[in-house]
Structure 1
Amino acid sequence: MFFSNYPGFEAFATTKQQRVFEYAVRNHLAQALALTIAPMAEETPHSIRLVFGDAPDWKELVFRDSIVQCIARVNNLVFLGKELMENDEWIRIAVSYSTDAFVAAKKLATVPALLRPIMHWFLPECQKIRHQIRRCRELIAPEVERRLRDIENNGGKPRKRVLDSVDWFIGAESGLDPHTTNTLCFAFSDLLDHPEYLKPLREELVNVYNDVGEWNKATLANLRLMDSFIKESQRYHPMREFNMTRVCLKNVTLSDGHVLPEGALVGFGPVLQSDPSVWPNADMFDGYRFLKLRQQPGDENRWQLASTAPEITSFGYGTHACPGRFFAANEMKLLMAHLILHYDWKLPEGTAKVRHLHNGLDHRPNPMQKVMLRNRTPEIDFVGRSAI
């Protein structure tokens, strides 16, 4: 439970500010999605080299610590622009806030409800995230003010073409999503547990990129094995045993006569994701599973990574499915493409299999999982910086 009515937890609010964010993602990010691919593709190899570094010999690092910084940089490029993407303090907050807020929420939950309105002011964990929110506002304020001046100087009209969402939020009025991080961590753990997929994934990358000649919508769409591999990882590793949570606005009577009372918190378990009647050999990881399903007549577009279905609810389902899932799918493919082309990967000596964490209803990749990487010469190379 996140206490979004308390200072410091505003990022988890479902109020007007959250609706503004959802509006921007659904309406503006969706329209600009194809335009984001080229700048993301230019920034991705630079961010990876900056964070993962040079490795002429095998070196060990904690994968999650590194990939979350890359995701933060690419997200910030698209959502906030190049200037904030280059701001180290902003990146540090973007990387740490979601974890710090979770820690603060758990601490605040131990306080009796009647004392929380007072005690949250004194808990160090809550003080930390209040400071983070305050610094974020201070860092972004000059950029917002500059955009507003530009709009005013342009007769009140927003700039015709922008690829970052500071303008989108301003338009709606006139963050780091851990899902992407966890999905990529799970996918890479599956790749380390099943290294036989590295060769066909690289071959697909080289063939598709050489056919198209650049990173664009078609290139990413044609990475069908990678799409299938990441989606199978989502199926194999549901992140929660209780997801798509909703609150009953009135009494709801189910078909068997049970009544869910007004105000009840309800959710859905991802039981179909491991159901052998739905997925043959459901307890086995099969990176080709969704590729083979898409080869069936009529299902060519059904089982894509960003598609939703009741059988696999990683991005939610229905009206309130994750609005940013198409952007997330593109970002994950770009990051994985560069990581497997520019580095060799293996588990540290003595590590037979990646182990993940179960904490109550949550299933998370091990945040301390170490990996080994080494430079490799990519069959294709695309290094540059975004011009945003």
Structure 2
Amino acid sequence: MSFNLEDAISKYRHFELNPTYVFFGLVIFVIYYWWESTRLKNPSRLPVIGRRWYELGNGKAKQRYLDDCLGLVRSCLEKHGDAFYLYTDSAYRLILSRKYVDMIRNEKRLNFIKAHAVRMDNGVKGFEPLASMTSDKRIVHAVAKHSLNRHLGTFIQPLNEESDYAVRQVLTDNPDYHEIMLKDCVWRMFAQIMSRVFINDKDYYRNPDWVHASSEYVELAAVAGFELRRFPKWAKPLAAPFFPNCRKLRSILHHINTLLKPLKESLDQQGLEDDPKSPLEFLYKQVRSQSEELGPMLIALCLVSYDGGAELFTHVLYSVLGNDQLVKDLRSEIINVVGKEGGFNKNALQNLVLMDSALKEAQRLHPESVLMLQRIAVEEVVLPDGLIIPKGTPMMVSGAHMLDASIWPDGDKFDGYRFYNLRKKADPSVSLASYNFTSTSPDQFSFGHGSQACPGRFFASYMQKILLCHVIMKYDASVTIPEEGASFQRGQSHVANPGLKARVRRRQEEIQL
């Protein structure tokens, strides 16, 4: 019997859609789509820690992560071993122990930039600088690599000059003890100094309006971003207008773009002198055809430098200033090293080994995050021990071992001499580089590790040391720790308490810096 298309179609000419069937069909489709999109790919059958069987949704799992991420990760490592899935602030992520650090260090299929793009609030008005940080162009990364690292020595003098100006402006020349809010003062100093490095135009780096706006944006971006973590990616642009901090963030960014307008116009009309070491010139060359991107790019640089650098420096200050003997020994080292060199240079900064130790110890005890080496698998990856990481899997490595007493004696206490003493006791056949603040290893990887380690860490070391020299040599200070502690955990983030106060007074430094 031959097939007649017309007869087949005629059977359905009078077919009517039943609304009930349509409704249930859509419901089934949505449920299936949601299940497929959220289904965890777990070919290695790793433990999954998150929602308990009696809980509806992931809200409780997320709250446990936010309340005590460090304790949760430690418990999971103890109970489940070196690899497991954990529900974090918005999704399940593969968490690995330090055992895997060297296995993944140079694995290009585990991508750092794309992992951050997933977490960042790209597409939300006011968060454009964060999108710049995670762009495939990797311009922010390139600035550190090509402008800062290649010309490190040329930044020493401007860093020194602006550190001197910043501490006098913020901490004042008052010879009597007076109280300051420590974290706020550190952020103001960083905003001042980094504006000198990135823009090098007095109309900006000596402009209180610019310094305040850029630092306020960076601080508020973290708070506003944290508020949006409760929403899925598609809902964030819809939810943001209802949050005061998100609205304020948009307003600040608009003000920043207004402040930068004369600079953009000047660059478009006159261009820049050929100065390969200038971060601003490098940025402008990258976005010349789209000069509206210059503002977000500059703020992205501020985000990277203020957020991590200022946070660490706050931890350094309250840790160091709480030990009178350490302050005395640091002053002695500065006098002997910087004084002998006649000022700051590469050799002097490299030979501040006790200061280097104090910086590395503060970073060990107060890492920016409990979970580090954030990556996402752009292809399926099979590690040497057989662990399979499916394509699209977000992952992180636990840094809980950095506080572990089995690795670091009295690992929960600050010891500014720790790496200084390890360096002195080291076997002559062992490289001392592993004890440097800028070095990375499976034991300490706050700067990342391998091919995707932070390219700006060498510049960060210079800045931290120069600014710390100015503070320690020019001021007597003591810090008051609030009842709730000097720092606290907020999810995976380790945050210095904004309520920290210090009593400071100007002293006469023994040498001119």
TM-score exceeds 0.5: yes
Paired letter, 1:103: V
**Are residues 32 and 4 of structure 1, via their aligned partners in 2, closer, same or farther at CA, if it must alter by over 3 Å?**
same
* More displaced stretch, 282-291 vs 81-90: 282-291
In the alignment, which residue of structure 2 is the partner of 1:329? 461
Pairing partner for 1:106 from 226, 231, 246: 226
* Cα shift at 1:170: 1.9
Structure 1 residues 327-385: Cα deviation after superposition (integer angstroms, max 9, x where no partner): 1111111111011111111134x979953212222221111101111221110124xxx
Give the root-mean-square deviation of aligned CA atoms: 2.4
- The answer to whether structure 1 residue 357 and structure 2 residue 458 are counterparts is no
Counting only pairs closer than 5 Å after superposition, residues 1-20 of structure 1 correspond to structure 2 as 1-13=119-131, 14-16=133-135, 19-20=138-139
The alpha-carbon distance between structure 1 residues 123 and 307, as it changes in their structure 2 partners (threshold 3 A), is same
Q: Secondary structure at the match of 1:346?
A: strand
Aligned to 2:113: none
Most deviating of 231-240 and 173-182: 173-182
State whether residues 193 and 354 of structure 1, in contact with CA within 8 Å, keep that contact through their aligned partners in structure 2: no
Instruction: Specify which of 157, 169, 175 is matched with residue 56 of structure 1.
Output: 175
Q: Tell me if the contact between 1:144 and 1:166 (Cα under 8 Å) persists in the aligned partners.
A: no
Partner of 1:135: 255
Match for 2:354 among 209, 225, 229? 225
The residue correspondences of 1:227-306 to structure 2 (distance < 5 A) are 227-254=356-383, 257-295=386-424, 296=426, 297=428, 298-306=430-438
Which of residues 168, 172, 180 is equivalent to 2:282? Answer: 168
Q: Secondary structure at the match of 1:220?
A: helix
Return the letter of the residue paired with 1:165: P
Once the two structures are superposed, the pairs formed by residues 154-233 of structure 1 within 5 Å of their partners are 159-161=273-275, 164-173=278-287, 175-176=302-303, 177=305, 178-233=307-362
Deviation of 1:139 (Å): 2.1
Whichever residue aligns with residue 457 of structure 2, its letter is R
Amino acid at match of 1:230: L
Matched AA of 2:510: E
Deviation larger for 8-17 or 185-194: 8-17
Tell me the distance in 2 between the aligned counterparts of 1:352 and 1:377: 33
Q: How does 1:30-49 map to 2 (within 5 A)?
A: 30-49=149-168
1:312 equivalent to 2:444? Answer yes
**4+ residue runs of structure 1 moved beyond 6 angstroms?**
350-353
Deviation of the 1:103 alpha carbon: 2.4
Q: Distance in 2 between matches of 1:89 and 1:49?
A: 18
Equivalent position to 1:96, from 195, 216, 232 = 216
CA displacement at 1:251 relative to structure 2: 3.2
Distance 1:214 1:205 in 2: 10
1:360 aligned partner, one-letter code = G
Determine if contact 2:482/2:499 at 8 Å carries over to the other structure: no
Determine what percentage of the aligned residue pairs are the same residue: 30
Give 5+ residue unaligned stretches, structure 2: 1-118, 289-301
Tell me, in whole angstroms, the C-alpha distance in 2 between the residues paired with 1:113 and 1:308: 33
Q: Give the Cα separation in 1 of the matches to 2:496 and 2:421.
A: 27
CA distance in 2, matches of 1:172, 1:263: 30
- State the 1:41 CA deviation: 0.5
- Which segment drifts farther, 311-320 or 279-288? 279-288
> Are the counterparts in 2 of residues 243 and 267 from structure 1 also a CA contact under 8 Å?
yes
Paired residues in the alignment total 375
Equivalent residue of 1:378, what SS? coil
Q: 1:379 to 1:353 in 2, by over 3 A?
A: farther
Give the secondary structure class of the aligned counterpart of 2:477. Answer: strand
Cα pair 2:147 2:277 within 8 Å, conserved: no
Change in 2 beyond 3 A, CA 1:256/1:169: same
Decide which structure has the larger Cα Rg and report it. 2
> In the aligned structure 2, how far is the partner of 1:161 from the partner of 1:72?
23
Q: What's the counterpart of residue 504 of structure 2?
A: 373
Q: Gapped runs of 5+ residues in structure 1?
A: 152-157, 383-388
Is the 1:44–1:70 contact (alpha carbons within 8 Å) kept by the matching residues of 2? yes
CA distance in 1, matches of 2:448, 2:150: 21
